[in-house]
Amino acid sequence: MTKPEYPITDWDDAYTNGAYIDGAEAYPDRWAAEAAQFRAELQQDGRAEIDMSYGPEPRNKLDLFLPVGSPKGLVVFVHGGYWKAFDKSFWSHLARGAVDGGFAVAMPSYTLAPEARLTRIGREVAAAIVKASDRVAGPIRLAGHSAGGHLVSRMVSEHSPLAVPVRERVNNVVSISGVHDLRPLMLTEMNAILAIDEEEAYRESPALLRPLAGTRLLAWVGGKERPEFLRQSRILPELWDGFGVETKFHVDETTHHFDVIDGLARRDSPLTQALLTSF
């Protein structure tokens, strides 16, 4: 595992992923193709509800994938893309592991930056979780990748945008390569799009907030990630550990930022098992 060198002088490089991954340019097409195939399979079986509205905005849509038989509970997966790229259609295949494990899986899109700031995006994700929770009874697990890791962690931080009755059903959160401290992003060129200011960074960074009582969170990160993502993943369990909640930090040594999520497509993978059962 490569340790970050401080002080960091090039924050854009610190948060650049694709330039350090062989064949990075091929991943989006691969994701989209695998996702489309999975959606087609479940639609054919009558186990997919596509483009369910959860709010008034054009991107306030979610897909709901159902297991065979009654769901054991609900998983909500929130995608990444630095809050400014992608939508739910790239990630459907990542529901396969949880669906095969007996859970319903909701995957929302949300309004992207610069049209929406991060605070608004968090409120939209909360609304999506509430909508899905109205359709599926039982416990709720949250998972998110990169920016999505930030968003699901935010749901169990103080002043959560998530409605209390739904929040009380959340019993496991897995932040995969999550960005938990927003302040460094203010030093990157992408902040021209994100428009994070100091007030929002302090208000919306899970690492700078107290966890809600009863929180159970796993920060999962690839061992071949950029050093700054390893740090971002490590700090949340370290900071939240003193508040009496259950946290864990796990490094998946063989993966990088783009393939660290692949395990969600397999029921028996350590990542899916950590999400559905225990750390």
Q: Is residue 30 part of a domain?
A: yes
pLDDT (tens digit, 9 = 90+) per residue, 265-276? Answer: 999 999 999 999
DSSP state of 69: S
Average pLDDT over residues 122-132: 98
Q: Are 193 and 84 in contact (CB under 8 A)?
A: yes
Does residue 278 register a pLDDT over 80?
no
Percent of the chain with pLDDT over 70: 97
Q: Is residue 6 part of a domain?
A: no
Q: Is residue 126 part of a domain?
A: yes
- Residue 157 maps to which CATH number? 3.40.50.1820
Q: Is residue 5 part of a domain?
A: no
Domain tally for the chain?
A: 1
Instruction: Work out the burial of residue 108: count CB atoms within 10 Å of its CB; fewer than 13 is exposed, 13-18 middle, 19 or more buried.
Output: buried
Q: Is residue 4 part of a domain?
A: no
Q: Is residue 3 part of a domain?
A: no
The predicted pLDDT at position 234 comes to: 98
The predicted pLDDT at position 3 comes to: 56
Does residue 4 register a pLDDT over 60?
no
Does residue 95 register a pLDDT over 90?
yes
Which residues of 12-54 form beta strands (DSSP E)? 48-53
Please give the residue range of the domain that contains residue 43. 11-276
Q: Is residue 73 part of a domain?
A: yes
Does residue 239 register a pLDDT over 70?
yes
Q: Is residue 135 part of a domain?
A: yes
